[in-house]
Amino acid sequence: MTLNSRIPGGPIERAWQTTKFNMKLVNPANKRKYHVIVVGTGLAGASCAASLGELGYNVTAFCFQDSPRRAHSIAAQGGINAAKNYRNDGDSIYRLFYDTLKGGDFRAREHNVYRLAEVSVNIIDQCVAQGVPFAREYGGTLANRSFGGAQVSRTFYARGQTGQQLLIGAYQALERQVASGQVKMLARTEMVDLIVIDNKARGIVTRNLITGKLEIHMADAVALATGGYGNVFYLSTNAKGSNVTAGWRAHKRGALFSNPCFTQIHPTCIPVSGEYQSKLTLMSESLRNDGRIWVPKNAGDRRSPDQIPEDDRDYYLERMYPSFGNLSPRDISSRAAKRVCDEGRGVGETGLGVYLDFRDSIQRLGENAIRERYGNLFEIYERITGENPYKVPMRIFPAVHYTMGGLWVDYHLMSTIPGLFVLGEANFSDHGANRLGASALMQGLADGYFVAPYTITNYLAETKLEKVSADHAEAKGALENATNLTNRLLSIRGKKTVTQFHRELGKIMWDYCGMARNKQGLEFAIGRIREIREEFWQNVSVPGSGSDLNQQLENAGRVADFIELGELMCLDALDRNESCGGHFREEYQTPEGEAQRDDENYAYVAAWEYKGENAAPVLNKEPLSFEYVKPAQRSYK
């Protein structure tokens, strides 16, 4: 398959402006003749559905939660980047572009990243106008903080609940459109298949999670904003419901899946405490503005932290990366934590943890200043661990947090299936092999407010769309497919629960496709995942029926997809014989233990094509060229 990324020509600074001007428009009276489906109501989905509704399109939006306000964007804590340069500290669109591309270890498309930086400034304006209560200075202007991978202060925030406030803003805009009748909102409804007619996305099949009813929804275009797939690891910072099903089923219908092995392991999460654990909780990266990360200098030092004198502490990030220190990018900080724990210097009962210590900043700024900045995060920490971080340093450890990979999209955010657009974390486009902190919120809202409304309009205007109805053979076929899948899952009546399979898969993924990977491990993992898959379809126990509310059935379908995705992630990691960003192949490292990229052979986007249940997927490559930022060994020293 040839991949046309539709990157515009001309200087990058003008590229998006020119593209917008060259796009076709739909006149206001004709917009109401089109119907667009938006799946997912996080930052990308809610903002896209609201914006399309405002333009006058008929929109149907879907979410699996009971309300669009629950989408997992809500849990983002730290902030959102924008190149406003309100601090006068040398920020600019170009610098945000540069930082994001470098942070992604030169595995993202330059033009997408530039556009992201360009519209970042509009996002802040839009959100302020919607009433998002960003933190402010006493003079009434917007406040900023710093985040990893940047030397400027460009992160806007609303205490430790930035994602919540941005999502509520987008949710309110969405509900305004629901009230006006322009958007129809179907909550507690899960997408289970994509309907493709004449090689165009023309609708979806959904399952009503209350009644179990499978339904066909036809449309002129479909936008997936269904988030990431971090839950393939079972334990992650994602919400329990976050899943890959919509994206994976679209992949099976022909959408290419890109860079699945690029996953982000966040350095600051609360460590695992027991077998029953159902998820991991993030402690925002913003804490690293004032917290210092350290472990004891000597392996096996079991003294309590207040008994360890300054000389016996190793502030390893400050030592190894003096220019960025505790604010080094996520991939680098996570690996450094793994390394010191591997050396036997980890803290806590399991030895899998490092200290994040606020002692010095409390001395410098006072407890109140720290409480004002991070009060809610300290509360969360104390609630979970029973320890007071104002007195005892936090213990943190890396955990799966975000997935840079996703469905392949071109510059217009359109997948390889015409009419299927993919937004936010669900696509692969902007973060390369590693995402910088506070950039996920930026991308979700950039895609939803300022990119997709233009590109979807252009698609509708330039595409001849035949009238199709739910009676079309392809629609009925997709419905039958979904019915068969439900029946198959319910008929197995095996001995193991869905969660048991999910845990097993997650452990394999974490051990062999997590923070460090190698050829042998990945090959072993692929074999094990195939066995898990085989066993799943013979021995999974899904109680209840398909015709009512059945949370186990919902979860079974999602885990089945995670098992298949897990295999593809390992294949992708095995194919990429280099280290870059979050993808660290132990065979490829510099003498100092940093990621060793191979630009000559691997400066491409891997785009995997589904070929059938038991056939090997085919790798397509989109070469990456760098005209503006020359790839270099990433250094934060």
Partner 1 sequence: MKLTLNVWRQSGPNAPGKMVRYDMPGVNEDMSFLEMLDVLNESLIVKGEEPVTFEHDCREGICGSCGFMINGKAHGGFPKTTVCQLHMRHFKDGEELFIEPWRASAFPLVKDLMVDRSAFDRIIQAGGYISVPTGSAPDGNAIPIPKSNADRAMDAAACIGCGACVASCPNASASLFTAAKVAHLNLLPQGQPEKFDRALRMVTAMNEELFGSCTNMQECEATCPKGISIENIAILNRHFVEASFSERPATAEVGAG
**Residue number, 101 or 209, with CB nearest to partner 1:** 209
Question: What residues numbered 198-237 form the site for partner 1, per CB under 8 A?
Answer: 210
Asked if 556 contacts 207 with a C-beta cutoff of 8 angstroms, the reply is no
> Which range touches partner 1 (CB under 8 A), out of 27-35, 145-153, 156-164, 510-518?
156-164
Question: What residues numbered 446-465 form the site for partner 1, per CB under 8 A?
Answer: 449-450, 453
> Which range touches partner 1 (CB under 8 A), out of 406-414, 419-427, 492-500, 573-581?
492-500
369 binds partner 1 (CB under 8 A): no
Dig out the tokens for 364 from the structure: 């410098």
CB 350, min distance to partner 1, A: 12
403 binds partner 1 (CB under 8 A): no
Question: What residues numbered 545-604 form the site for partner 1, per CB under 8 A?
Answer: 548-549, 551-552
497 binds partner 1 (CB under 8 A): yes
Contacts with partner 1, 525-554, as mask; x by CB under 8 A? ----------------x-xx---xx-xx--
| Cα 87 → chain centroid | 28
Q: Which of 19, 81, 100, 161 binds partner 1 (CB under 8 A)?
A: 161
Asked if 247 contacts 558 with a C-beta cutoff of 8 angstroms, the reply is no
**Total site size for partner 1, rule CB under 8 A:** 81
Tell me how far apart the alpha carbons of residues 582 and 413 are, in angstroms, rounded to a whole number.
23
Q: Which of 12, 96, 113, 124 binds partner 1 (CB under 8 A)?
A: 124
Full 3-state SS string of 354-397: EEEECHHHHHHHCHHHHHHHHHHHHHHHHHHHCCCCCCCCEEEE
Asked if 230 contacts 247 with a C-beta cutoff of 8 angstroms, the reply is no
CB 252, min distance to partner 1, A: 26
68 binds partner 1 (CB under 8 A): yes
Q: Which of 24, 32, 87, 136 binds partner 1 (CB under 8 A)?
A: 136
CB 525, min distance to partner 1, A: 25
Question: What residues numbered 612-631 form the site for partner 1, per CB under 8 A?
Answer: none
**Residue number, 401 or 517, with CB nearest to partner 1:** 401
**Residue number, 11 or 543, with CB nearest to partner 1:** 543
CB 582, min distance to partner 1, A: 22
CB 189, min distance to partner 1, A: 13
CB 237, min distance to partner 1, A: 8
**Residue number, 337 or 451, with CB nearest to partner 1:** 451
In angstroms, the Cα distances linking 403 to 20, 131, 203, 249, 594 are: 29, 30, 26, 18, 21
Q: Nearest CA to 446 among 50, 210, 123?
A: 123
In angstroms, the Cα distances linking 205 to 35, 244, 485 are: 15, 15, 13
Q: Which of 178, 186, 470, 492 binds partner 1 (CB under 8 A)?
A: 178
Q: Which of 3, 7, 23, 128 binds partner 1 (CB under 8 A)?
A: 128
Question: What residues numbered 186-205 form the site for partner 1, per CB under 8 A?
Answer: 187
CB 204, min distance to partner 1, A: 22
If residue 175 lies in a helix (H) or strand (E), which one and from where to where?
A: helix 162-180
Question: What residues numbered 374-393 form the site for partner 1, per CB under 8 A?
Answer: 379-380, 383-384, 386
**Residue number, 465 or 490, with CB nearest to partner 1:** 490
Tell me how far apart the alpha carbons of residues 269 and 248 are, in angstroms, rounded to a whole number.
28
Q: Give the distance between the most distant pair of CA atoms in the chain.
A: 75
Q: Which of 70, 102, 115, 335 binds partner 1 (CB under 8 A)?
A: 70
Q: Which residue has tokens 């079309």? A: 472
Write the CB contacts of 196 (distance below 8 Å, at least 6 apart in sequence). Answer: 202, 253, 254, 417, 474
CB 454, min distance to partner 1, A: 10
Say which amino acid occupies 318: E
**Residue number, 51 or 206, with CB nearest to partner 1:** 51
Q: Which of 18, 141, 298, 601 binds partner 1 (CB under 8 A)?
A: 141
Angle at 81 between CA 357 and CA 265, to 5 degrees: 55
Q: Which of 9, 28, 90, 140 binds partner 1 (CB under 8 A)?
A: 140
Question: What residues numbered 317-336 form the site for partner 1, per CB under 8 A?
Answer: none
Q: Which of 13, 89, 125, 343 binds partner 1 (CB under 8 A)?
A: 125
CB 187, min distance to partner 1, A: 7
176 binds partner 1 (CB under 8 A): yes
Q: Nearest CA to 582 among 91, 15, 107, 130?
A: 107
DSSP 270-297: PPP--TT-----B--GGGGGT-EEEEES
CB 543, min distance to partner 1, A: 6
Q: Which of 171, 374, 421, 562 binds partner 1 (CB under 8 A)?
A: 171
> Which range touches partner 1 (CB under 8 A), out of 59-67, 333-341, 394-402, 417-425?
59-67
Instruction: Determine how many CB atoms are found less than 10 A away from the CB of residue 589.
Output: 15
Tell me how far apart the alpha carbons of residues 178 and 62 are, in angstroms, rounded to a whole number.
12
Q: Nearest CA to 493 among 531, 538, 548, 530?
A: 538
Q: Which of 2, 22, 27, 278 binds partner 1 (CB under 8 A)?
A: 278
Dig out the tokens for 595 from the structure: 């990621």
**Residue number, 135 or 352, with CB nearest to partner 1:** 135
CB 227, min distance to partner 1, A: 12
> Which range touches partner 1 (CB under 8 A), out of 401-409, 497-505, 610-618, 623-631?
497-505
**Residue number, 4 or 211, with CB nearest to partner 1:** 211
Tell me how far apart the alpha carbons of residues 294 and 318 are, in angstroms, rounded to a whole number.
9
Dig out the tokens for 191 from the structure: 């997408």
CB 418, min distance to partner 1, A: 25
Say which amino acid occupies 294: W
If residue 200 lies in a helix (H) or strand (E), which one and from where to where?
A: strand 200-208
Tell me how far apart the alpha carbons of residues 591 and 588 are, in angstroms, rounded to a whole number.
10
**Residue number, 275 or 471, with CB nearest to partner 1:** 275
**Residue number, 52 or 317, with CB nearest to partner 1:** 52
| Per-residue b or e along 556-576, where b marks 16 or more CB atoms closer than 10 Å to that residue's CB | bbbbbbbbbbbbbbbbbbbeb
Angle at 516 between CA 507 and CA 626, to 5 degrees: 125
Q: Which of 3, 20, 35, 122 binds partner 1 (CB under 8 A)?
A: 122
DSSP 470-535: TTSHHHHHHHHHHHHHHHHHHHH--SEEHHHHHHHHHHHHHHHHSSSB-HHHHHHHHHHHHHHHHH
**Residue number, 14 or 240, with CB nearest to partner 1:** 240
